[in-house]
Chains A and B, each alone.
Chain A
Amino acid sequence: MADHHVIIDNLVKTYPGAQKPSVDHVSFSLPRGEMLALLGPSGCGKTTILRMIAGLIAPSSGAIRLDGRDVSAIPVYKRNMGMVFQAYALFPHMTVAENISFGLEMRKVGRAEREERVRKALDLVKLAGFGERKVSQLSGGQQQRAAIARSLVIEPELLLLDEPLSNLDAKLRDEMRDEIRDIQARTGVTAIFVTHDQDEALSMADRLAVMSAGKLEQIGTPLDIFDRPQTHFVASFIGAGTFFEGRVAGPGLAEVDGLPLLHFAGEAAIGSSIKLMVRPHRLLLAGEPGQPNSFSGVVEHIVYRGQILTLSVRCGSRVLQADLPTHAGVLPKKGDNVTLTVAPDDVTLIGREAA
């Protein structure tokens, strides 16, 4: 941790007149070359953190360390950051090449070297030949490439991206998602991007930092976050699931409201309160009533979504969500009696919030 490239240490931001801090004692770190997603609903403080790292706003307390050096007191224009803004924020009165060259000019790089580096940056983002265009003559995707080139040409300490895909239409978004990942991998730049879109975060980032109400909920690999959520918020924000509150009745055995005993993986003290979660795609249409982790009920609602069929099955007082692959033989209909089963390994024990 101590030798990590970027260390965010107990960062706090309280706006004047605000009741609660927008960013509340957040700490995390990134090794060199990593791509981290700051994920959370709007207003969770993720953009505030990004802007503090960039230097556009000053933290109330805490430190931002780059290679061990606290940069919080360095003014924004001396921090050597690259930033891609949500609406790209290209300079509208300059050509694409002038936009990209701007940071180099500010660093007093000579003309010949500037031209060479701008050309390479244009190549990198596949905009070769677009240098003389005006910004207004570019499509959304091209503007974004230009914004990325402008940020990378200065060889920044860190690449910061604020909702980089939110202004693009769906098809272009998928394309740029791979593109950004590829550019980041090729340049090896350490990158932090802010998003509220879980798919974007899961597919692009090496690790995710999930935030809620100014606090860091959990940081981990996409797999960690999806399969081993530490908090109820993380579990419910990333992906769907059915949640159970219960009490540990025996080793790997929980009593939950309105259902038979639930077998789960993981350890918890007998008698303690726990939260469990089952992802919809982990429930299978199998098993016999009475077997462990088998639940019989009536199909209340069906949503057909192409590859999968989402069932809402009423089992006693609970409704379970189950995603079935649509190639799975005869599909249940509304009103059918079905039995669902889940492996104990797929019943996730969420953190220890209630303990």
Chain B
Amino acid sequence: MQSILRNTRAALAYLGTNPKMVAGMAILAVLLLIGIIGPLFVDIRLAEPISVRTNQPPSAEHWLGTDSGGRDLLAVVIAGTPQTLRMGVLAGVIGTTIGVMLGLFSGYFGGWWDRIIGAVTDTMLTIPPLAILLVVASSVRAVNVEMMALIIAALSWMHATRVIRAQVLALRELGYVQMARLSGLGSFSIIFREIFPNVIPIAFASLVGATSGAILSGMGLEVLGLGPQNTPTLGMTVYWALLYAAFSRGMWWWWSPPVIILALLFIALFLIASALDDFANPRLRSQS
């Protein structure tokens, strides 16, 4: 337990000086603040259709203008950004938890289970996630944010399984694990008390990657019009903008806020994942 605390302190000390981590966290904090502080200043009920005059360019009254459906786009951004984050984090946490468990067991026990899990992981990795999501989302018409997160989580565990398994294979043969085994400690204790603490940095990197992947899949469904219909989300805003030809009508204020926020979100998650990678593989550090 003490070693976990010490490791956490070392990790925080390192990550606090990593410029990628600092930049990524700063962007993420700004995006979170939009969702937290925004509703205090802007009435997010204006994100509902037919609540304001349509097709207005940005003005003092509507800072980001309004769309053809009569939504205030600033309200849409404020209401939609937290939804996107919530969906991504939910799917990422569920997917990574499944992935880490499978990776730990498959790497530690080896044998048939390892072969089966390995084959399933490799097979699933080559399936374009969008293909499966399409079939599910188009059959289950009324999806909400939580359901979407669950569906996406079912397709986002493979990466964690793969990297954790590889790591466990190496750790399994180390002296202290052999000692633990010889001293009669049970397999589950060895896995969770001796091996798991050593894969935490990699599990965190996978979590950030899975969250980013989940937001990507969710956005893919939304821009095809398969997202939640009753919740304003960033992806659905892009879908409406494209459907009503915002591009050729010169309504740049309609499509650009969700695109910019999504891009910033992906950049922030990428920077954080990359910093965690630097921490987990010290070999990369000197090079960046």
Q: Does chain A bind chain B?
A: no
Task: Identify the B interface with A (CB < 8 A).
Answer: none
